[in-house]
């Protein structure tokens, strides 16, 4: 092994060059790492902003849907109460009685042929009587202050009324 001589200076020079190369590579890696971290932070901020925008839009959408749902529920409740009021209106039972009378008249027309002529005469007589009652000033005042007649008020046409 002859001629190979190692000097301390060449060893230090090689070690220095190696150390210098390692430091340069380490600094480059550190810079690259900082740039990567910076790009990740920027991407993270961008994604956070996007998520925040999406959540804000969704919240507004949900809020409008909730308002519309509440309005629809209010409208349904109002309609339910309106339906119950209309079902319980006093005029409804009067219409029912009127319908029953109409049905009875039509059945009488079908079953008794002489009923039609008698009915037409009685109807004209009743219309004339109501016309006489409603003409003038006094009947108008009575009409305003008089309560509505009862639903079923049938007077006997035979004249057999009790006299007290």
Write out pLDDT tens, residues 22-44: 999 999 999 999 999 999 999 99
User: In terms of domains, do 18 and 83 share one?
Assistant: yes
Q: Tell me the whole-structure pTM to 2 decimals.
A: 0.37
Helix/strand/coil for 161? coil
User: In terms of domains, do 79 and 15 share one?
Assistant: yes
User: In terms of domains, do 21 and 54 share one?
Assistant: yes
User: In terms of domains, do 82 and 133 share one?
Assistant: no
Q: Cβ distance 109 to 115 under 8 Å?
A: yes
Greater model confidence, 94 or 164? 94
User: In terms of domains, do 44 and 78 share one?
Assistant: yes
Look at residue 41 and tell me if it is in a domain.
yes
* Residue 34 CA to its chain's centroid (Å): 55
State the Cα–Cα distance between residues 119 and 108, nearest whole angstrom.
10
State the Cα–Cα distance between residues 77 and 26, nearest whole angstrom.
74
User: In terms of domains, do 124 and 108 share one?
Assistant: yes
Look at residue 15 and tell me if it is in a domain.
yes
> What pLDDT, in 10s, does the model give residues 116-146?
778 788 888 888 887 777 676 666 666 666 5
Helix (H), strand (E) at residue 132 = helix 115-134
Look at residue 116 and tell me if it is in a domain.
yes
Q: What's the total number of domains in the chain?
A: 2
Look at residue 159 and tell me if it is in a domain.
no
What domain range includes position 99? 90-145
Q: What is the pLDDT of residue 94?
A: 74
User: In terms of domains, do 121 and 82 share one?
Assistant: no
Look at residue 45 and tell me if it is in a domain.
yes
């Amino acid at each position: 092994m002859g001629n190979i001589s190692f000097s301390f200076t060449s060893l230090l020079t090689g070690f220095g060059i190696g150390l210098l190369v390692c430091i340069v590579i380490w600094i480059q890696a550190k810079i690259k790492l900082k740039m990567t971290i910076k790009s990740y932070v920027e991407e993270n901020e961008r994604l956070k902003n996007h998520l925040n925008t999406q959540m804000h839009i969704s919240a507004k959408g949900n809020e409008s849907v909730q308002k519309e749902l509440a309005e629809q529920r209010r409208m349904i409740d109002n309609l339910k109460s309106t339906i119950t009021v209309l079902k319980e209106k006093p005029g409804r039972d009067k219409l029912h009685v009127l319908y029953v009378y109409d049905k009875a008249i039509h059945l009488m027309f079908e079953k008794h042929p002489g009923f039609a002529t008698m009915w037409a005469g009685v109807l004209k007589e009743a219309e004339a009587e109501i016309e006489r009652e409603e003409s003038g000033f006094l009947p108008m005042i009575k009409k305003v202050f008089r309560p509505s007649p009862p639903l079923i008020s049938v007077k006997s046409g035979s004249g057999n009324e009790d006299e007290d």
